[in-house]
């Protein structure tokens, strides 16, 4: 198949920042792209060859869009899986597969998948309604503390809450959810696995994630993770087993906990480019976005090791600001060595909304971490 400067069409469901960064590489390779998104202001609109407006959860919108392309991929999981299943039957290549997405879209189903495939994950209970959690607590079937997770439609820390008392359940969505044992962990880690249809597989180095205490969002992604080699090896092995169990094609980001006694437990996965891989654009031989393209087009996978230590800082909307975005002090951070800002193209900011990220590269990881802190303190995402 000739993908380059040809009639081949790649379809992308979702027009957000992940799609926008993927389009940098489709343009590098001159691959023709079609994007479907519900917002006329989606970041992808400017860089794709064709931009289609439509609801990603609507069967007809996804089906009709998918019929126009040769290979279909995603940059967000919340898409109509029934439409993808039909497209697969009609010969459109869909990566990740509808089956993988069906499993991953529901956190309860995803957790059961790990259990069925003997993959290590924290113990959990599944509930059809929030009220069943209260019943389980009152009859002694569930003990505090635990982590409540909505079964569907969670993102960026939404749909997850640590529950220590009954009052913590107030105001949570009433529907299907899981209650997961609160794991005492040392580190949150992630490994991105790339796999093409021919079965060639590569992993990016293990990264470590530092979280914002209130927003439950990643503040820093540190690559390589500051962990022992044997722990890194264990994390990579678990990630490869997960990818194999899904028979996944494309990128699979596997988020994990490193427990107090250095066991690795799977938290959750994303079958696409991921926040934990943004530093690969500047720090790696092959970025996660280029690797995703290579994998879904069944091309040889690129080299995954890092050229240099990399840290990624998320740029999120400051509290108390909603409206037309302003990036305050961006010139100041651009004076710092090894600092590259990425602006996602969202015109409107609101508290904790992901608006961009900054990569800091340095041969010395501790120096990169110091600069990352300075970047975080300096740049502010505010509004007019």
What DSSP letter does each residue of 164-226 carry, written as one string? -SGGGGTT---SSEEEEE---EEEEEEEEEEE-TT--EEEPPPEEEEE-TTT--EEEEEES-S
Q: What is d(CA 278, CA 20) in angstroms, rounded to the nearest whole number?
A: 12
Q: What is d(CA 173, CA 36) in angstroms, rounded to the nearest whole number?
A: 29
Q: What is d(CA 207, CA 190) in angstroms, rounded to the nearest whole number?
A: 5
Q: Which of 348, 288, 345, 353 is nearest to 51 (CA)?
A: 345
Beta-ladder partners of 314 = 357
Q: Which residues are annotated as a binding site for ATP?
A: 107, 149, 180-183, 188, 267-268
**Sign of the C-alpha dihedral, residues 314, 320, 324, 326?**
negative
359-375 as b/e: b if 16+ CB within 10 A? bbbbeebeebbebbeeb
CB 266 within 8 A of CB 242: yes
Number of residues written out for the chain: 384
What SS3 state is found at 361? strand
Instruction: Give the β-pairing of 264-270 and 50-53.
Output: unpaired
Q: What is d(CA 130, CA 217) in angstroms, rounded to the nearest whole number?
A: 24
| H helices present in the chain, as ranges | 17-29, 59-66, 81-89, 98-105, 107-116, 130-138, 229-246, 280-283, 288-296, 330-334, 365-378
Q: Which residues are annotated as a binding site?
A: 107, 149, 180-183, 188, 267-268
**C-alpha distance from residue 203 to each of 24, 180, 284, 306 (Å):** 22, 28, 12, 12
């Amino acid at each position: 198949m000739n993908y380059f400067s040809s009639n081949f069409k790649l379809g992308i469901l979702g027009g957000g920042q992940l799609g926008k960064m993927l389009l940098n590489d489709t343009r590098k390779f001159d691959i023709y792209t079609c994007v479907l998104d519900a917002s006329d202001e989606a970041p992808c609109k400017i860089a794709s060859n064709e931009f289609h407006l439509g609801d990603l959860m609507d069967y007809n919108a996804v089906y009709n869009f998918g019929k126009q392309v040769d290979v279909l991929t995603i940059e967000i999981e919340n898409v109509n899986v029934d439409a993808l299943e039909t497209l697969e039957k009609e010969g459109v290549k869909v990566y990740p597969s509808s089956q993988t997405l069906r499993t991953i879209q529901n956190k309860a189903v995803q957790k059961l998948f790990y259990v069925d495939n003997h993959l290590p994950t924290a113990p959990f209970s599944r509930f059809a309604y929030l009220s069943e959690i209260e019943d389980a607590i009152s009859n002694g079937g569930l003990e505090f503390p635990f982590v409540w997770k909505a079964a569907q439609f969670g993102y960026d820390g939404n749909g997850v809450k640590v529950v220590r008392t009954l009052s913590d359940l107030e105001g949570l969505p009433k529907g299907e959810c899981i209650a997961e044992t609160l794991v005492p962990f040392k580190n949150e880690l992630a490994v991105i696995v790339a796999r093409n249809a021919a079965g060639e597989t590569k992993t990016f180095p293990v990264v470590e994630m530092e979280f914002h205490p209130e927003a439950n969002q990643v503040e820093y992604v540190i690559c390589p993770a500051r962990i022992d080699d044997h722990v890194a090896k264990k994390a990579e092995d678990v990630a490869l087993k997960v990818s194999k169990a899904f028979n996944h094609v494309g990128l699979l980001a596997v988020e994990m906990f490193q427990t107090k006694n250095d066991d690795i437990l799977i938290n959750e996965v994303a079958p696409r480019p991921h926040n934990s891989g943004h530093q690969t654009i500047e720090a790696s031989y092959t970025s996660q976005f280029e690797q995703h393209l290579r994998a879904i087009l069944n091309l040889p996978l690129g080299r995954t090791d890092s050229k240099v230590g990399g840290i990624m800082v998320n740029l999120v909307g400051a509290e108390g600001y909603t409206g037309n975005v302003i990036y305050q002090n961006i010139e100041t951070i651009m004076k710092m060595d090894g600092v590259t800002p990425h602006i996602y193209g969202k015109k409107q900011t609101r508290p904790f909304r992901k608006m961009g990220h900054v990569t800091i590269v340095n041969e010395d990881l501790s120096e990169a971490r110091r600069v990352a802190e300075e970047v975080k303190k300096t740049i502010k995402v505010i509004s007019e």
